[in-house]
Structure 1
Amino acid sequence: MIKKYIIERRSWIILFLFLQLLVVLVAYLDAAIPLLPLLYIVFLSTMIFLIFFIIRYHVETKYYRSLQEWDTSLDLTRLAPADRPFEKIIESSVIDQTERLKQDAAQNMRLLEQEKDDLLSWIHEVKTPLTAMHLMIERLDDEKMKAHLTYEWLRIHLLLDQQLHQKRLPFMKNDLFIEKVSLKSVIFKEIKALQSWCIQKGIGFDVELKEEEVLTDAKWLAFIIRQLLTNAVKYSEESDIIITSTKWNGQTVLKVQDFGRGIDPRDLPRIFDKGFTSTSKHQDSAATGMGLYLAKKAAEPLLISIQVCSKTGEGSTFTLSFPERNDFDHIAGM
């Protein structure tokens, strides 16, 4: 390594030696200048330079020696010939490491894809016994037991549904089919799925749809509405949930209003954050902090805007604003 270091610094080494020889030459040619004192000064300068050179060599090459200790694959003598500067050696090392990192990243991506596929397959497999369990629950004669089992079954079903859609979200744009969707059919299907839970809690629905069709993807719209209704039912007691649709500024607007515990004003800016539950009810173990986050994420590719208005102790109103046909030009080429 000392050879490479000398070669790299050869320009200013030559300059120093040239200046020392110039001083000696001038003293030799000019009789008025004493030669021996200048030779002494040149000797001292050379010694100081050699000491400085040795110190700088150890300081400047410390990092390169440590690279060899960290990773044996970074063989600097193998990566560059002796006449190449240290900068080129490190550049080659960085390129080599970059290629290795790219390969590791590709491998990790394949593993993540495999993990996602395995999880989706597992979720679909679990749905089969869940469906059979639901049919068995429906056959029970004990209405109280039936209601409790249906509620617990519904909780499992909704959690699996969230997990399934969470894994599908990164590939959502490949799965979109934009069409005219009947709000009535989607909403009533989701209400029916929550029927047993709502009966148990004494919750009813007041649905008034002045605008019955929107342009969106039916499957993902159902998922968004499912999260809003689940949230409304979870945090309400013995009250009606009001669902209305109207036309506002050329857009179809759907509102889901509940009269539950509401949302603390300091929590409103964060309710769509992943994993956020509540600051006032932080001990609530039933909350996962994923429903509204997933609803917001699913709404973005559909160009659906979600706003919320809430008062603590009075309830919350979630508003979905749907796009018009022209808004989907850059997505569906419509």
Structure 2
Amino acid sequence: MIKKYVIERGSWIILFIFLQLLIIFVAYIDSAIPLKPILYLVFLSMIFFTIFLIFRYHKETKFYRSLVDRENNLDLTSIAYPESPFEKIIEDSMTNQTELLKQVASQNLLTLEQEKDELLAWIHEVKTPLTAMHLMIDRLDNEMMKTHLTYEWLRIHLLLDQQLHQKRIPSIENDLYIENTNLETLIFFEIKTLQSWCIQKGIGFAIQLEITEVLSDAKWLAFIIRQLLTNAVKYSTAADIMITSYEQAEQTILEVKNFGRGIDPRDIPRIFDRGFTTTTHQDHAATGMGLYLAKKAAQPLHIDIYVISELAETTFTLTFPKRNEFVKLTSM
């Protein structure tokens, strides 16, 4: 800040030094003016000017130091009180600009909320004809046609489901209802939803649940498992997907293991990123949102998700918090 202050007041400092040198020069060339008293006077002037400059530095930079130290937000309370007309101009300009930005942000937030509500309403409206379409497909006699249409129906259903939960995730804390959730019931329901797709690909499930109950939100946990199962079915070959649960260090572990193409080691750190799709296998139907949303939904539930992929074997692991630890976290 000292360097900046010297640069800011550089012209005044140069002017003062120039005037002192001018006085010395005039006393030097004019024999009628005694040089020694002039030098003494200039010396005293320099001392007083230096003291004055130090005092003004602390006084004038107080306001600007508060601007440098303040956080980058719309809160102006941390700014020091302006002590000069120019500082007052700056404060007034910042206050007016902040108020304008707050109004714009409020309007944008209101617009986003309206668009979110309209989209959620649209999704719920679409679900009605989608349900009717599923009933119509069930009545078809042509099994091949029925299988293909059921698969396409399932794709639309899963995409709508992703979109619905994506819009709800920002306010997920207000939507949580923590209770004892039966893992077996939840997993079997999600498998049944994916049944037509699994039959088409020749995929089965090997389920071994040592722990069948966890403390969590049933709706959001179902969504997380749905994304993992969808991902497993999508990239599996005709082999069983293994689902196991067990207890480790007083924590419940749920694993979803599939056998297919595996994940490139370069992609593993990024598979939970928004919109990321694998680099080695281009899948134009992939949105790159499923695992991202699963990770986002798992955070407020204090569930850790990680993945291990070796050759053609990929395992997604959900680690649930300890029961007493979860209660402590949710009560804070």
**What TM bracket, shorter-length normalisation?**
0.7 to 0.9
Give SS of 2:277's match: coil
User: Could you say what the CA RMSD is over the residues aligned between the two structures, in angstroms?
Assistant: 2.9
The offset of 1:33, in angstroms, is 6.8
Q: Partner of 1:327 in structure 2?
A: 325
What do the CA deviations read for 1:112-161 (whole angstroms, capped 9, x no partner)? 11111111111111111101110111111111000000000000000000
Q: Partner of 2:198 in structure 1?
A: 198
Give SS of 2:108's match: helix
Q: Distance in 2 between matches of 1:209 and 1:20?
A: 92
Q: Distance in 1 between matches of 2:141 and 2:159?
A: 27
Give SS of 2:181's match: strand
Give SS of 1:303's match: coil
Q: Partner of 1:98 in structure 2?
A: 98
Give SS of 1:278's match: coil
Q: Partner of 2:186 in structure 1?
A: 186
The offset of 1:109, in angstroms, is 1.0
Give, as a single letter, the amino acid of the residue that structure 2 aligns with 1:298.
A
Alignment of 1:273 onto 2:248: no
Alignment of 1:172 onto 2:172: yes
The offset of 1:84, in angstroms, is 5.8
Q: Distance in 1 between matches of 2:14 and 2:247?
A: 82
Q: Indicate conservation of the 8 Å contact 1:190/1:222, yes or no.
A: yes
The offset of 1:105, in angstroms, is 1.0
What do the CA deviations read for 1:3-52 (whole angstroms, capped 9, x no partner)? xxxxx99x98996998699779979x973679xxxxxxxxxxxxxxxxxx
Q: Indicate conservation of the 8 Å contact 2:27/2:33, yes or no.
A: no
After TM superposition, list the pairs within 5 Å mapping 1:199-218 onto structure 2: 199-218=199-218
Residues 24/171 of structure 1: CA separation in 2 closer, same or farther (3 Å cut): same
Q: Partner of 2:298 in structure 1?
A: 299
The offset of 1:329, in angstroms, is 2.9
Q: Indicate conservation of the 8 Å contact 1:202/1:239, yes or no.
A: yes
Alignment of 1:154 onto 2:182: no
Give the total of aligned pairs. Answer: 277
Give SS of 1:90's match: helix
Residues 295/32 of structure 1: CA separation in 2 closer, same or farther (3 Å cut): closer
Q: Partner of 2:137 in structure 1?
A: 137
Residues 211/24 of structure 1: CA separation in 2 closer, same or farther (3 Å cut): closer
Q: Distance in 1 between matches of 2:116 and 2:290?
A: 20
Give, as a single letter, the amino acid of the residue that structure 1 aligns with 2:156.
I
Q: Partner of 2:53 in structure 1?
A: none
Give SS of 1:288's match: coil
The offset of 1:318, in angstroms, is 0.9
Q: Partner of 2:128 in structure 1?
A: 128
Identity among equivalent pairs (%) = 65
Q: Indicate conservation of the 8 Å contact 1:209/1:245, yes or no.
A: yes
Residues 23/161 of structure 1: CA separation in 2 closer, same or farther (3 Å cut): same
The offset of 1:333, in angstroms, is 2.7
Q: Distance in 2 between matches of 1:25 and 1:230?
A: 92
Residues 13/271 of structure 1: CA separation in 2 closer, same or farther (3 Å cut): closer
The offset of 1:331, in angstroms, is 4.3
Q: Distance in 2 between matches of 1:318 and 1:115?
A: 34
The offset of 1:255, in angstroms, is 0.9
Q: Partner of 1:232 in structure 2?
A: 232
Q: Indicate conservation of the 8 Å contact 1:215/1:324, yes or no.
A: no
Residues 237/32 of structure 1: CA separation in 2 closer, same or farther (3 Å cut): closer
Residues 144/99 of structure 1: CA separation in 2 closer, same or farther (3 Å cut): same
Q: Gapped runs of 5+ residues in structure 1?
A: 1-7, 35-82
Q: Distance in 1 between matches of 2:237 and 2:259?
A: 8
Give, as a single letter, the amino acid of the residue that structure 2 aligns with 1:231.
N
After TM superposition, list the pairs within 5 Å mapping 1:60-79 onto structure 2: none
Q: Partner of 1:43 in structure 2?
A: none
Give, as a single letter, the amino acid of the residue that structure 1 aligns with 2:192.
K
Q: Gapped runs of 5+ residues in structure 2?
A: 1-8, 36-82
Q: Distance in 2 between matches of 1:292 and 1:13?
A: 64
Q: Distance in 2 between matches of 1:189 and 1:21?
A: 94
Moved more, 15-24 or 257-266: 15-24
Q: Distance in 2 between matches of 1:19 and 1:206?
A: 94
Residues 316/21 of structure 1: CA separation in 2 closer, same or farther (3 Å cut): closer
Q: Indicate conservation of the 8 Å contact 1:181/1:218, yes or no.
A: yes
Q: Distance in 1 between matches of 2:265 and 2:18?
A: 76
Question: Greater Rg, structure 1 or structure 2?
Answer: 1
The offset of 1:90, in angstroms, is 2.6
The offset of 1:85, in angstroms, is 3.8
Q: Distance in 1 between matches of 2:316 and 2:33?
A: 99
Give SS of 1:266's match: coil
The offset of 1:86, in angstroms, is 3.1
Q: Partner of 2:32 in structure 1?
A: 31
Residues 266/15 of structure 1: CA separation in 2 closer, same or farther (3 Å cut): closer
The offset of 1:328, in angstroms, is 2.1
Q: Partner of 2:64 in structure 1?
A: none
